[in-house]
Amino acid sequence: MQRMLTRLAHEIAERNANGADVVIVGIQDSGVPLARRLGGLLAAIWGQPVPVGALDISLHRDDLDRRVAPTLHPTEIPCDINGRTVILVDDVLFSGRTIRAALDALTDLGRAARVQLAVLVDRGHRELPIRPDFVGREIPTAANERVRVELQELHGRDAVTLERE
């Protein structure tokens, strides 16, 4: 996983020559530790600290009616996003609905110059016209399979597993 993240960081650095404009924003909750790791790697590449934030999207979801009340996490962005390049980070890209909600939530915070999307795993099955800019690994899946990403910070180990329901 660390290799995947290093490669992602280099791709991000290549696309964004000027690191001073970039803010990394992880989607709560699995995207946040990934964003922090990417932020650390990018800080080393650019030789300057990179702001890292956390975004909660539960109030912007389109399926609030069909779920039991979700848990809210804090939204915490350490700098003004107006005019900056925001790199959204999440673990798995699936239907694209989470990213749709994240774009709405970001809009409420300001007008970013551009938004790019980095995901650890793209498992396909998009339901909306959304595509990632940076992908750690594409994993072709069946709709009834589940991709589980475990992270050291949240689950005590780094692992990506494919489960069949």
Partner 1 sequence: MICWRDAGPAGSIPAAPNPRLARMAWQRKHLLDIESLTAEEITTVLDTATAFKAVGERAIKKVPALRGKTVVNLFIEPSTRTRTSFELSEQRLSADIINFTAEASSLKKGETLKDTARNLEAMNVDFIVIRHSASGAPHFLARVLNAHVINAGDGAHEHPTQALLDTFTVREHKGRVAGLNVTILGDILYSRVARSNLWALLKLGARVTLCGPSTLVPRTFEQMGCRVTHDVEDAIRDADVINLLRIQHERQRKTMFPSLNEYTRLFGLTADRLRRTRPDVLIMHPGPINRGVEIDSDIADGERSVILQQVTNGLAVRMAVLFLVNGGKGPQEIAANPAAA
- Retrieve residue 163's tokens: 């489960």
Nearer to partner 1, 157 or 164 (CB): 157
Q: Which stretch binds partner 1 (CB under 8 A): 13-21, 63-71, 90-98, 128-136?
A: 63-71
Tell me which residue of 81, 2, 62, 85 sits closest to 38, measured CA to CA.
Answer: 2
Residues 5-44 vs partner 1: string with x where CB under 8 A? ------------------------x--xx--x--------
Binding footprint of partner 1, residue count (CB under 8 A):
33
Q: In degrees, to the nearest 5, what angle opens at C-alpha 13 toward C-alphas 12 and 16?
A: 85
67 binds partner 1 (CB under 8 A): yes
- Longest Cα–Cα distance of the chain, Å, equals 46
Q: How far does Cα 142 stand from its chain's mean position?
A: 22
Give the contacts of 126 (CB within 8 A, at least 6 positions apart): 93, 94, 95, 96
Contact (Cβ atoms closer than 8 angstroms) between residue 5 and residue 40: no
Residue 20: CB minimum distance to partner 1, A? 14
Nearer to partner 1, 65 or 165 (CB): 65
User: What letter does residue 132 receive in the DSSP assignment?
Assistant: -
Task: Please give the residues from 93 up to 112 whose contact with partner 1 meets the rule CB under 8 A.
Answer: 104, 108-110
Q: Which residues bind partner 1 (CB under 8 A)?
A: 29, 32-33, 36, 52-54, 56, 59-60, 64-65, 67-80, 82, 104, 108-110, 153-154
